[in-house]
Amino acid sequence: MKRMKWLVICGLLIGLGALAWAIPNKVEQSRQQVETIKASKVAVTTVAAIGRDAPDFKLQALSGEDVRLSDFKGKTVILNFWTTWCTYCKKEIPELINFHHLYKKEEVVVIAVNLSSEEENIENVAMFAKEFEIPFLVPLDKEGEVGKAYQIIMIPTTFIINPEGKIQNKIMGPVKLDQLKQQLKGS
């Protein structure tokens, strides 16, 4: 009986010792994970809302170049969020391409942010862009942070950002060429 008590006490002490050793180790791992996540996230300073400044971001495009929304201040920006598997996105891309070709010589730019965090793989995005011959910038939101800042709950979603960098309008669902033309008249 004494031996059994001794074994139980020893087992408890060993278990408590292991727990005491593991807790600080887990805390340190968690702290390091948080620091890694913070360092890798895109710095987005605000949340998107009509009439407010559009949240700035920096993403890498399919072409490899860095894309910052703030680099386009002074131009109207058509900021579209999409994925390759979205049926409506596939229907909308030709409309955006036509719009781009009609207005590329004006102070208007189309940026089609792919919600890459929702994609199976980036290769699908590259194949999609090649198949549709997308002529405008396609930044990749690999971490999903820009999508969160713009509160994307439905794809496609398009924001009209005026030359001052303020969100003029938000269109949920596929856009048509005529809708985009109308948005420019209102800016």
Q: Tell me: the pLDDT tens digits for 29-46?
A: 555 544 544 444 444 546
3-state secondary structure of 105: coil
pLDDT of residue 17: 64
Per 3-state DSSP, the chain is made up of helix, strand and coil in percentages (nearest 5) of 50, 20, 35
The pLDDT assigned to 184 comes to: 83
Q: Where are the domains of the chain?
A: 1-40, 58-186
Domain 58-186, architecture per CATH? 3-Layer(aba) Sandwich (3.40)
> Can you list the residues of the chain whose pLDDT is less than 70?
1-4, 6-8, 10-13, 15-47, 186-187
Give the chain's end-to-end CA distance (angstroms, integer): 87
* DSSP designation for 187: -
pLDDT recorded at residue 40:
43
